[in-house]
Amino acid sequence: MERMLATPADAEIIIKLYQLRTEAVMRKARAWLLGDFWPKTAEEFFAIYDNPADKHNPWIRQVISYWEMAAAMVIHGAVSAELFVDANAEGFFILAKFASILGEIREKNPTFLTKTSEMVRRFSSAAQRYEGIKKRVEETRALQQAKSKKRAPKKTDVPADFPAEVPGELPLDVPEA
């Protein structure tokens, strides 16, 4: 059930959540997960998530568990849903970012982002925030795909046996015609 007014204790929790996000390692982890990591498949996701040798493995786990913990606080009534939704978008962004592969991820990891998903289902303010963010994430993905297509090497009409380099040295002085 949603509460209309937040308490000073709710505000303290929101401020503490913000402060925890500013810790140096957490900032790096968030920057990577939010900005750099855009898996297209569950396999790409699990290549990092299931690989403790990957340097990003602790980062993905840290950020996801942080936002799942925060969502659990909302679900269990420790903090006002309205205040939380008004003050935080990142957890919804992460859910939206993985939405296209969420079913596949949950086949292997059934509890993945379940608290954030539950918050979206239970609180209308969370659902509205999520839907707006999901549209922006989809637009960002489309822009990234368009950019990657522009950067893709173009096929040329050069024969396969054409030498990439001409052997020998080229003359420095070219005779005038």
Note the pLDDT tens digit of each residue in 122-164. 999 999 999 999 999 999 999 988 888 887 665 555 555 545 5
Higher-scoring residue by pLDDT: 175, 46 = 46
Please report the beta strands in 48-167, taking only residues with DSSP state E, as ranges in sequence order. none
Q: Do the domain assignments include residue 16?
A: yes
CA dist., res. 92 & res. 142, Å (int): 19
| Structure-block tokens of residue 65 | 């568990």
**Would residue 118 count as lying in a domain?**
yes
Compute the distance between CA of residue 30 and CA of residue 22 in angstroms, rounded to an integer.
10
The pLDDT-based confidence of 172 (bands split at 50, 70, 90) is: very low
| Average pLDDT rounded to a whole number, residues 55-66 | 98
Residue 110 confidence (pLDDT): 98
Q: Flag whether 101 is in a domain.
A: yes
Residue 97 lies in a domain: yes
pLDDT for residue 155: 55
Provide the domain count of the chain.
Answer: 1
pLDDT tier at 96 (50, 70, 90 boundaries)? very high
The region, left, alpha or beta by phi > 0 then psi within -120 to 50, assigned to residue 2 is: beta
Inter-residue contact 82 to 3 (CB < 8 Å): yes
**pLDDT computed for residue 75 by the predictor:** 97
Q: Smallest Cα–Cα separation from 42: which of 123, 99, 122? A: 99
Whether 83 is in a domain gets the answer yes
Q: What is the DSSP letter of 22?
A: T
Q: Residue 142: what residue type?
A: A
What per-residue confidence (pLDDT) applies to 161?
55
57-88 CB burial, b ≥16 within 10 A, e <16 = eebbebbbebbbebbbbbbeeebbbbbbbebb
CA atoms of 82 and 77, how far apart (whole Å): 11
Domain span holding position 55: 8-148
Would you say residue 167 lies in a domain?
Answer: no
Residue 161 domain-assigned (yes or no): no
Tell if the pTM clears 0.85, that is, is over it.
no
Cα(117)–Cα(106) distance, integer angstroms: 12
How many CB atoms are closer than 10 A to CB 93? 20
pLDDT for residue 4 = 65
Instruction: Classify residue 103: in a domain, yes or no.
Output: yes
pLDDT level of residue 166 (50, 70, 90 thresholds):
very low
